[in-house]
Amino acid sequence: MKDEIISKFQARYGRAPAVVARAPGRIEFIGNHTDYNGGTVLGVPIDRGIWVAVAARADGRRQFCSEARGAIKALPAEDPPAKQRGAGSWMNYPLGVIAALPEFGLRPPAGFDYLALSDLPSGAGLSSSAALELASALAFLALGGQTAPREVVVQLCRRAENHFVGVPCGILDQGVSGFGQKDHLVFIDCRGPTFAAVPLPPAARFWIFNTHMKHALVDGLYAARHRECLEAARLLGVPQLADATPATVETARAKFPPEIFRRAKHVVDEIARVEATVAALRAGDLAAVGHLLTASHRSSQALFENSTPELDFLVDQLAAAPHVYGARLTGGGFGGAVMALTSPAFSEGQAAAVAAAYAAKFGARPDVLRASTGDGAALQ
């Protein structure tokens, strides 16, 4: 991919890039909607991601191009940059990074040529947005001869998505992309945040089944769940739901409207499942890990209500299949993808049979991706 992005940059801009950076996509392993509630979460950095190449310009123009979209878009070097709409909205991720740099005591780049290239499947819930932010941040910093601690880069990129793009995500996506290590999961305690590597047992395999189905109101539903969690914390009298326990939520049940209780119960139970999953991984007990993954999905299905019939069908099929430890939706939900944790014996043929059963029921075949762990964001 490095040779490819250098060649494509040369073709578009007539010169070689000065800096190339890459950041991986991620699988949300377990910890659904816990991150912005101050909880814990586990993510998998994968061996696919976003590549960004940049070179400085002397005329002050900022020129953006994405291989997926083709045309070069030129913007003036104004700070803060203007938010883009329509076909150019993908640029809000690197522009958000530029807008956030001064807030962390770092200089935004002046004029430059920019190219982004991806080998992540689109719409699969693998957080291409965070990978684009991390790769852009590292490239912009290197272009200006600057460095920053990885924790700062991760928080800067989250701020870009929260305050410029306008998505109220937690630190999961940026943290996993930034702190990834091959053959490890990334554990994040979002209250710090603090980051740690958790070894992955050698017998673990990951499969992604992408439905390409998205609820038309997905952005509004995500924001609604965020508000409901804040309301649950307020009713409990705690700063964040991570400061509550399953027992305190159950004791306070009478205070809650029914849907607010369900949201709170999901989050605090999910935080407990994350802790249990870390212990099971360290013990090499993949059967226990799989049970926790499927329990996480059932909680998303019944309590957080961010699953769909398509995702539920895939989890039902996979959980009943040989050589599958467990399965759950991955990402924000309301459509998207299911992750299965399997043994090496789970085959392409079995995956194809699950996809065929899905197609027979829903009339469209899901994409199937076998994913491996990969390293975190880095200059190339």
pLDDT tens profile 202-224: 999 999 999 988 765 567 888 89
pLDDT at site 124: 64
Examine the pLDDT at 2 and tell me if it is beyond 70: yes
- DSSP category for residue 14: S
pLDDT at site 67: 87
- DSSP category for residue 250: H
Instruction: Using a pLDDT cut of 70, give the percent of the chain over it.
Output: 98
User: What are the distances in angstroms from CA 253 to CA 77, 228, 263, 266?
Assistant: 53, 15, 12, 13
What is the rounded distance in angstroms from the CA atom of residue 71 to the CA atom of residue 74?
10
Q: Would you place residue 167 in the very low, low, confident or very high pLDDT band (cuts 50, 70, 90)? A: confident
Examine the pLDDT at 30 and tell me if it is beyond 70: yes
Q: Would you place residue 64 in the very low, low, confident or very high pLDDT band (cuts 50, 70, 90)? A: very high
* More confident site: 120 or 325: 325
**Exposed / middle / buried, residue 168 (Cβ in 10 Å: 0-12, 13-18, 19+):** middle
Write out the DSSP string of 186-205. Answer: EEEETTTTEEEEEEPPTT-E
pLDDT at site 270: 98
pLDDT at site 77: 85
- DSSP category for residue 105: T
pLDDT tens profile 306-350: 999 999 999 999 999 999 999 999 988 888 899 999 999 999 999
Annotated catalytic sites, by residue? 173
- DSSP category for residue 255: G
What is the rounded distance in angstroms from the CA atom of residue 92 to the CA atom of residue 95?
5
In the predicted model, what is the mean pLDDT of residues 122-132? 81
Report helix, strand or coil for 375: coil
Examine the pLDDT at 297 and tell me if it is beyond 90: yes
* More confident site: 140 or 60: 140
Select the CATH number that applies to the domain covering 2-200 from these four: 3.30.230.10, 3.30.70.20, 3.30.420.40, 3.90.79.10.
Answer: 3.30.230.10
Contacts (Cβ under 8 Å, ≥6 apart) of 43: 26, 27, 28, 29, 31, 172, 173, 175, 176, 185, 186, 188
Q: Say which CATH class 205-371 falls into.
A: alpha beta
Ranges of each domain in the chain: 2-200, 205-371
In the predicted model, what is the mean pLDDT of residues 259-267? 97
- Among 265, 270, 334, residue whose Cα is nearest residue 125: 334
pLDDT at site 217: 55
Q: Do 2-200 and 205-371 have matching folds?
A: no
Instruction: Using a pLDDT cut of 90, give the percent of the chain over it.
Output: 84
